[in-house]
Structure 1
């Protein structure tokens, strides 16, 4: 009977005895060796214990209640509005078991101590869309706030877990390196995934400054280039004007003036006043057209053809020849412009050094046609030909060379000024067909200047 009473008393007091062995402790009363970093079999940081918080699988919890029973610790912790209950058992300086209710994991103590500075490879600018964090050696800056470093640890000197704090609150960050880059996971009230800054992001301000400097330098060079081009154009215009005056003087050949006026005087002496008046009018109009051309570098094709026609009519007073001026119907003579007095020297040359040297059936043709980009002028005569004229060493040949050089210089200036491909070619017709005589001059000029 006495034994039964003793058993009943023991059974009744057992819960009280157990309760007396289980007691509540503060986080600061945890065993000293429990603080630090613990890792699982995959060497991943899965547990960090400090007097202020506990980190379990990349989630930071604050302590609510800790119960100690023998070598077992029962924790009640919270994160935001979530409470987590778990048990740490078999706690020793090197090992422990974490019982989360649905699984039990074995952990080992990391030999890496809590670092006092953030690793250099993490010190950088990190971006998450429009947000960014600046990681320094001992703090993290995010959204105009500074978070001081409290804890940083690793198990492989590659992946790090960091805890920072601001205004008494702690925040967890951990980095990860994968095939797609280097990332930083952070929980600042809400989770963010930051990616390490690219070269462009890190040097954005420097690139902008460099771009501005390059733009300024480019603008300066473009301005200098524009000034140089303007000066070159002005120089070309002066040369063009000088060539124009030289061409004018070349056209005002004293022999032509004397011969033309003598021919008109001869008509007057013969009593042919009507023809004399006609040619005197032609001569005066030719002089006016020639003088007008000295005022500008370009004239309409209509004016140039009219000047050539009047010149040929006056030359016919002293030399019997036939001529024709052919213009392609597709050419708008009034709108198309050509360099003044560029064609006339070749017409004059064809008469003086070609047609004048034969006795009869003298013919001269001046033809204008165009392609998609150029105006082409052909001056063709049936005289003795350029090769024979050179062989005869005619008295006026030096003047002829001077006129040709003027024309070539003007073509060169046209190409330099307007970036065109104008050119002159002179061919003895016998080179194409031995039965032919005379000279063919081809002048290629741009349609637009």
Structure 2
């Protein structure tokens, strides 16, 4: 960055001075052009020295850098102005620099012109130095922000994995209760099949354990496998239906995000009543939002601060969902509980376009 800006500043100055010579007739224009190149190289060298001095005092804070841009930069500008008087010779031939080895007679110098040149070069050097410090500070801030984003991303991923894996023991606990019930009822073949299905399901979940985001189609397939496992326990009472809009199948959602909703539906539907339980899973796109609904027969008691408070044991799963949504989407996603007019308890998850995820905060 520093080298590019040095060449950029003095390159622009060189082009400006060269362009100005086009409007001034001079019989020795070619020699002056070469001298201008030499002087530009000298200016670049002095600016590089200023760059090294600024690096040396950066650890001393902004005060030291500002001091370096005042007195030392003024001295460098003065040397450049003196060298400018030495280098430029209207009478010198093209590529003839032997005059630079002659003794210097300072009495012949135009000190008023040198003073003017000193201020001109000083403001160029100081301007470059201020630009460098600003760009350098901006880069430091960007690096700090990137480091902060990386730390936040790592923390968020750790939180998401902790929340995600919290679901697996919860599910295993419920599934093992089902196995226990089948064994108590002496339905050993069904218990054995349930264990095999459970092993297949957990293998599928753990195989994709590194993925926090999966498609709606993958999520529904996992939940359908889970419901098939539960139907082993309640073959006559548990019925489920899936209605997924084709456009929603490829939408990326957090893995296992609707698992707690289905678990709650079964736990408080099938196990607490003798009537058959219907579970309806639906997903559709509404504008730039994805709506996923899990509805089941019955009524739900809406918490006063839904869905934060625990209500009849459902708080853990619902809180888990909301925490995951907040970690991924901030305030752009939501979870709602409601009772429909046709006598069903409905939980709705509304997700924004995947581009609104906190990919790089």
Q: Distance between the aligned counterparts of 1:309 and 1:222, measured in 2?
A: 46
Q: Structure 1 residues 252 and 233, CA, compared in 2 at 3 Å: closer, same or farther?
A: same
CA offsets 1:237-268 (integer angstroms, 9 cap, x no match): 11122112222222222x44122343266463
Structure 1: gaps spanning 5 or more residues = 1-126, 134-140, 147-166, 168-195, 391-395
Q: Distance between the aligned counterparts of 1:382 and 1:240, measured in 2?
A: 31
Q: Distance between the aligned counterparts of 1:220 and 1:365, measured in 2?
A: 53
Q: Structure 1 residues 260 and 295, CA, compared in 2 at 3 Å: closer, same or farther?
A: farther
Instruction: Say which of 347, 350, 359 aligns to 1:441.
Output: 347
2:332–2:351 contact (8 Å) kept in structure 1: yes
Aligned partner of residue 386 in structure 1, secondary structure: coil
Shift of 1:224: 0.7
Q: Distance between the aligned counterparts of 1:285 and 1:264, measured in 2?
A: 20
Q: Structure 1 residues 398 and 386, CA, compared in 2 at 3 Å: closer, same or farther?
A: closer
2:257–2:321 contact (8 Å) kept in structure 1: yes
Q: Any residues of structure 2 matched to 1:50-129 within 5 Å, and which?
A: none
**Does structure 1 residue 234 correspond to structure 2 residue 161?**
no
2:299–2:343 contact (8 Å) kept in structure 1: yes
**Does structure 1 residue 296 correspond to structure 2 residue 296?**
no
Structure with higher Rg: it is 1
TM-score normalised by structure 2 residue count: 0.57
**Does structure 1 residue 342 correspond to structure 2 residue 257?**
yes
**Does structure 1 residue 415 correspond to structure 2 residue 305?**
no
Instruction: Say which of 314, 317, 323 aligns to 2:240.
Output: 323
Aligned partner of residue 239 in structure 1, secondary structure: helix
Shift of 1:208: 2.3
Q: Distance between the aligned counterparts of 2:152 and 2:249, measured in 1?
A: 31
Q: Distance between the aligned counterparts of 2:18 and 2:155, measured in 1?
A: 60
Q: Structure 1 residues 259 and 312, CA, compared in 2 at 3 Å: closer, same or farther?
A: same
2:295–2:344 contact (8 Å) kept in structure 1: yes
Instruction: Say which of 120, 130, 137 aligns to 2:20.
Output: 130
In structure 2, what is the equivalent of residue 183 of structure 1? Answer: none
In structure 2, what is the equivalent of residue 92 of structure 1? Answer: none
Shift of 1:276: 5.6
Q: Any residues of structure 2 matched to 1:47-446 within 5 Å, and which?
A: 130=20, 144=88, 203-253=123-173, 255-263=174-182, 266=185, 268=187, 273=189, 278-319=193-234, 320-333=237-250, 336-354=251-269, 356-371=271-286, 373-387=288-302, 397=311, 399-415=313-329, 421-429=332-340, 433=341, 436-446=342-352
Aligned partner of residue 405 in structure 1, secondary structure: helix
Aligned partner of residue 330 in structure 1, secondary structure: helix
**Number of matched pairs:** 248
1:373–1:447 contact (8 Å) kept in structure 2: yes
CA offsets 1:70-108 (integer angstroms, 9 cap, x no match): xxxxxxxxxxxxxxxxxxxxxxxxxxxxxxxxxxxxxxx
Decide which structure has greater helix share: 2
Q: Relative contact order (alpha carbons < 8 A, sep ≥ 6): 1 or 2 greater?
A: 2
Q: Distance between the aligned counterparts of 2:172 and 2:120, measured in 1?
A: 71
Q: Distance between the aligned counterparts of 1:268 and 1:366, measured in 2?
A: 29
CA offsets 1:126-169 (integer angstroms, 9 cap, x no match): x9962599xxxxxxx8x9469xxxxxxxxxxxxxxxxxxxx9xx
TM-score normalised by structure 1 residue count: 0.47
1:264–1:280 contact (8 Å) kept in structure 2: no
2:299–2:339 contact (8 Å) kept in structure 1: no
Q: Structure 1 residues 421 and 248, CA, compared in 2 at 3 Å: closer, same or farther?
A: same
Q: Distance between the aligned counterparts of 1:356 and 1:415, measured in 2?
A: 34
Q: Distance between the aligned counterparts of 1:285 and 1:337, measured in 2?
A: 23
